[in-house]
Amino acid sequence: MFVSDRAILHLDMDAFFASVEQARRPELRGKPVIVGGERGGRGVVSACSYEARVYGVHSALPIAQAERLCPQAEFLPVDMKAYLAVHRSLVGLLERYTDLVEVASIDEAFLDITGSRRLFGPPRTIAHRIQEEVYTGHGVTCSIGIGPTKLLAKLAAGMHKPAGIGELTAADVHGRLRDLPVGDVCGIGPVTQERLAALGLTTVGMLQDVPFPLLAAAFGRGAHGLRQLALGRGLSPVRSERPLPKSIGRELTFDDDVSGGDPLRATLLSLTDSAVAGLRRKGLAARTVTLKVRFSSFHTVSRRRTLPRPVSAVRPLFETVTALLDELDIGARQVRLVGVSVSGFTQNAFQLTLDDGWREVALGEAVDRVREKYGFRSLTLAGGASAYRRLEHDSPAQSFHPAAQAARDTTASPSGASPPAPVAAPPAHARRAV
């Protein structure tokens, strides 16, 4: 059922990363812009302007292929700091219209403006005001959808990109929605789309009309959810509290393909260290570790393992990563990319015993304070698991416990002092993160 007077907006930034770059460099407006790596590089496209999309460029496309499709494009590295700054400003703007703002991603948000209409006018008026403020403040555009549910609002935004305002009502569920491909519906991924296609169900209307027993026979308990999505009733209400992320991960594409365990382990240690730093910033611990390996042939494999309890220290997670690497038995095969991600989060869960690695957590917190002051690369780890043994052997006890002492030691230097020397130099072969 729909709440008839509910008014929800879905704000979707248009080609967000590329648009921010065009706003910073006005000479790039109207020109194809590809964000993700340098010309001739081995990374993948993170985002591209609409001018680049007409040539077939899209996100996740290898940079080399994007260059072949659109050689006249401007290729730019990812500047996440700049994009996050714009994102935070946009969230602040939205929160001036309603307390019910749900951030879906760096370039998407839902707003429940049901209670805001007396102050700011009808939904379309509010949508126009937001669009104007976004462009005036940051020089970027957004598409906004209006609907009685999050799903209908999101679909409406997607149907009016770029820089449009669309609206879908409950009456449109059995009208305008019926001809949409099922893959356009949020919540229906590629695998489910393939399974539906095998049943001859390719449009939302077909999914609405198929006898439920047939759907249940194919999808079991998931059948009800699919039907709800087809009727525009999927997705939860707008929630202002920030949900836990699904995962935190880091990937790196090598400048040149590598083989052998040592280079891979050194890089994986660096990636694990970075992912765990992200854990600590959010006050999280993780139970599940995933290793991703892409070979020179572009064949990609992943392995996942769930730990007995949540952890927030590098060593147990890195040991799990290396165990997964060993299981792959890579041998002499050439590797193009490796990645590490953690998931299965618990909030505010930290190790408190010697066996759980409390000293490493304390060290990690101290390292975070150093990195906040001098940058992430001011302290790095390299060299595989032996790095931890060297740290424990070479570092004084106060470097591990208490963390407050280590923090005082690192912040007591006079203004303008050089940052502390790194623990070890980053791997020379690993220079491009994607």
**What is the 8-class DSSP label of residue 329?**
-
Q: Residue 139: helix, strand or coil by DSSP?
A: coil
Name the catalytic one among 38, 67, 74, 108.
Answer: 108
Q: Are 254 and 260 in contact (CB under 8 A)?
A: no
C-alpha torsion 155→161→165→167, nearest 10 = -20
Q: Judge whether 392 counts as a catalytic residue.
A: no
| Geometric angle at alpha carbon 162, from 37 and 119, rounded to 5° | 120
How far, in Å, CA of 87 to CA of 108, rounded? 9
> Rounded distance, CA 388 to CA 204, Å?
54
| Angstrom distances, CA of residue 10 to CA of 97, 324, 333 | 13, 40, 46
What are the residues whose beta carbons fall under 8 Å from the beta carbon of 432, sequence distance 6 or more?
37, 41, 42, 43, 252, 253, 254, 255
Centroid of chain to Cα 24: 23
Contact (CB, 8 A) for 126 and 116:
yes
User: Which residue numbers are catalytic?
Assistant: 108
